[in-house]
Chain A
Amino acid sequence: MEKLQLSVSDFIALTNQTLEYAYPTVVIEGEVASFKINQGKYVFFDLKDSEASVGCFMMAFQLRMPVEDGMKVTITASPKLTRVGKFSLTVRSIRPSGEGALKKSFELLRAKLAAEGLFASERKRLLPSAPQRIAVVSSTQAAGYADFIKILNDRWGGMHIDVAQVQVQGQSAPDQMIRALQYFNSQKSLPEVIVVIRGGGSADDLAAFNDEQLVRQIASSRVPTLVGVGHETDTTLADLAADVRAATPSNAAQILVPDKHEIIRAARLRASSAGTQLLNRISDQIRSTGQQLEDMYERFEYRFEQAETATQQLRRILTQVDPGVALRRGYAILRGTQAVGEIVEIETNTAIMKAKVMEYTANGKE
């Protein structure tokens, strides 16, 4: 084979061409060591296992999750020889690998975003009570989406539902959901609410909903957000950043709209209660009229008794002043001038007689 004579730059360029041809993309799992971010832009770390180690480089904006030394991760990268002859992996994406790393990454990001106030209760907005225009971010193939639409249709009608078909798991899911959220937030006529839904899955399946940029996009949405991801026991950072969190996609539909069956039942009950109230008012009226009659009768009876008592009293008085009564009891009425020698008239109960006054003595009672 002919000896190839190259400049250093050409050698590095040729090596990189060869690497790019042989290994355009490699996916490697390993443990992070010597992790650092320079100037807030450049990320350097080593990826190692028990026997080997390789240097990695990536831009800080590509970092979608907190990383720290000792964390097990899976990277997607391209091998490259730098201009100073150092072999390095240029990382395009990095994600936690295994349950421990996922949990660690989740807790780190949760603490970071909580400290920034992204999950604060005072940021939460109320959802409209019966929205007419809804935006949905989900995969139309997912069972969770089918459940959501079925329950929504069963509970309420008259809504316009725009659905952004996106991947809800995997590497490209966060970016697709971010673009869908940006799309709905940039509409001339905004939807009243944006619903992000996905059915249950493993922690790895739901990892897209713990993506830092997606969580920030949800928190900064102009339109109020409702997130229903996974099962009741699953909590993602997207849930925490949403204005309202639903336990499941079905629960999201229940939260979003009232149940028309309940409203119909309530309307029937209200109308029937009006009938009951009408009957009650009629009964009240009858009772009230009867009471009025009774009161009137009682007042009449009282007045009658009063008049009767007054009449009896008058009668008693009249009896007492009747001169005939005194005559019958043996008294007499004396008429005429009461002086010695005068003739006076005496009336008794049975006779009237005349008599001459023989003697007159005043008894001092006058």
Chain B
Amino acid sequence: MAKNNATIQEKIAQLDELVAWFDGDEFSLEAATEVFKKAEALAREIEADLTELKNEVQIVKASFDKE
């Protein structure tokens, strides 16, 4: 699967759509295995993205002691 450049929120939405496809009218057995593989890959990607992301903490240089 090609690298997905979407944000994590977008990927979660994509995963929801893929899972909902199995309940939808467009479901077909021929395409089902491919959609399932995509869903699995997306779940792995979400996990990797969330694990890799780090926060950046910066102390503001301005002093608030005096006006």
A residues at B contact (CB < 8 Å) = 130, 140, 149, 152-153, 156-166, 172, 175-177, 179-180, 183, 260, 263-264, 267-268, 270-271, 273-275, 277-278, 281-282, 285
Contacts and interface: CB of A to CB of B under 8 A. Distances in A.
Contacts of B55: 152-153, 156-161
B53 A158 contact: yes
A281 B24 CA distance: 11
Given A162-B58, A163-B57, A165-B59, A271 B39 contact: yes
25 contacts: A130-B8, A153-B54, A156-B55, A158-B53, A160-B55, A162-B58, A163-B57, A163-B59, A164-B62, A176-B64, A267-B43, A267-B46, A270-B16, A270-B19, A271-B19, A274-B18, A274-B19, A274-B22, A274-B36, A274-B39, A277-B19, A278-B22, A281-B22, A281-B29, A285-B29
Contacts of A275: 36, 40
Contacts of A264: 46-47, 50-51
B4 to A, nearest CB: 13
A277 B59 contact: no
B26 interface: no
Contacts of A162: 58, 60
Nearest to A172: B65
B25 interface: no
Contact of A165 (B16, B23, B56, B60): B60
Given A140-B59, A275-B36, A263 B54 contact: no
Contact of B64 (A179, A263, A274, A278): A179
Which size bracket describes the interface of B in this complex?
35 or more
A267 B45 CA distance: 10
B43 A161 contact: no
Interface of B: 8-9, 12, 15-16, 18-19, 22-23, 27, 29, 32-33, 35-36, 39-40, 42-43, 46-47, 50-60, 62, 64-65, 67
Nearest 5 CB-CB pairings of A with B: A157-B53, A271-B43, A277-B22, A158-B53, A260-B50
Given A161-B57, A274-B35, A263 B12 contact: yes
A277 B16 CA distance: 13
Contacts of B22: 274, 277-278, 281
A53 B33 CA distance: 89
A contact face: mostly helix, strand, loop, or mixed: helix
Contacts of B40: 271, 274-275
Contacts of A274: 18-19, 22, 35-36, 39-40
A176 B51 CA distance: 36
A263 B47 CA distance: 8
Contacts of B12: 263, 267
Given A156-B53, A157-B53, A274-B18, 15 more contacts: A130-B9, A158-B53, A161-B55, A161-B58, A165-B60, A179-B64, A183-B60, A260-B53, A264-B46, A270-B15, A270-B19, A270-B39, A275-B36, A277-B22, A281-B27
B29 A263 contact: no
A282 B27 CA distance: 11
Contacts of A177: 64
Which of B16, B50, B54, B62: most chain A CB closer than 10 A? B50
A175 B47 CA distance: 43
Nearest to B40: A271
B15 to A, nearest CB: 5
Residue of A130, A183, A270 most packed against chain B (CB within 10 A): A270
